[in-house]
Amino acid sequence: MPSQPSGVMSVWDADPALGKVVLSVDQIAKRVAELGKMITADYASRPPLLVGVLKGAFIFLADLARQIQLPLELDFMAVSSYGRSTKTSGVVRILKDLDIDLTGRHVLIVEDILDSGLTLSYLRKSLLARGPESLAVCSLLVKRSVEPRPDLEIAYVGFHIEPEFVVGYGLDVAERYRNLPDIRVYVAGEPA
């Protein structure tokens, strides 16, 4: 991940919809490398199937997969509980299901952010019903406001963040800002 030279403004810095940088490119890269080493050690004798939750986790999944020194398989699910809003609708919809059978597999769900916990709780129940040997979760971000719940056990956490709506590094608002290289607070309110 290339980083911006110190003191150089980017086009993102002039965007009035974007607030403070929550996590820099360098912070993200360092933590993703650490997570990759941990997952490599934990799954050394049983390479996992990484299940990326689209669309938000696609950049994180790509970077994380390159840091895991094991022969991996990847699959993707697309789910939605936000639509075009900055607040969850309370309803989870599967937009794209897995192509690979999970029976007897070691599965690692790769999620972008744990916010309300609704999406992850739904995914865990759905995937556990498919008979994996093991099921764990790796989430790049976990909001500090999320209450600990047994159905939301996270094996690997990138960062704990404040309960603010953030964009960048795959996270979006109305499909915008996924390509922002760092993670920033979105301050513009509901998207147009």
What is the tens place of the pLDDT at every residue in 130-145? 999 999 999 999 998 7
Tell me the three state secondary structure of residue 131: coil
Residue 58 has pLDDT above 50, yes or no: yes
How much of the chain exceeds pLDDT 90, in percent?
62
Across the chain, mean pLDDT equals 87
Whole-angstrom Cα distance, residue 168 to residue 179? 6
pLDDT of 95 reads 84
The reply to whether 115 belongs to the active site is yes
Whole-angstrom Cα distance, residue 180 to residue 166? 11
Tell me the three state secondary structure of residue 166: strand
Residue listed under structure tokens 């050690």: 41
Residue 49 has pLDDT above 50, yes or no: yes
How much of the chain exceeds pLDDT 70, in percent?
85
The CA radius of gyration of the chain, in Å to the nearest whole number, is 16
Mean pLDDT, rounded, for 137-164: 86
Short-list 78, 73, 80, CA closest to 102: 73
Q: Which of 1-5, 54-58, 115-119, 177-181 has the lowest mean pLDDT?
A: 1-5
**Beta-bridge partners for 173:** 176
Mean pLDDT, rounded, for 70-76: 95
The residue count of the chain comes to 192
Residue 41 near residue 68 (C-beta atoms within 8 A): no
- At 2, the pLDDT band (50, 70, 90 cuts) reads very low
Domain boundary assignment for the chain: 25-166
Which among 115, 151, 172, 182 is annotated as catalytic?
A: 115
Strand order in the sheet with 106-114: 93-96, 73-80, 49-54, 106-114, 134-143, 156-161
pLDDT of 92 reads 75
pLDDT of 108 reads 97
**Whole-angstrom distance between the N-terminal and C-terminal Cα of the chain?**
30
For residue range 100-133, list pLDDT tens digits in order: 999 999 999 999 998 878 888 888 989 999 999 9
CATH top-level class of 25-166 = alpha beta
**Beta-bridge partners for 4:** none
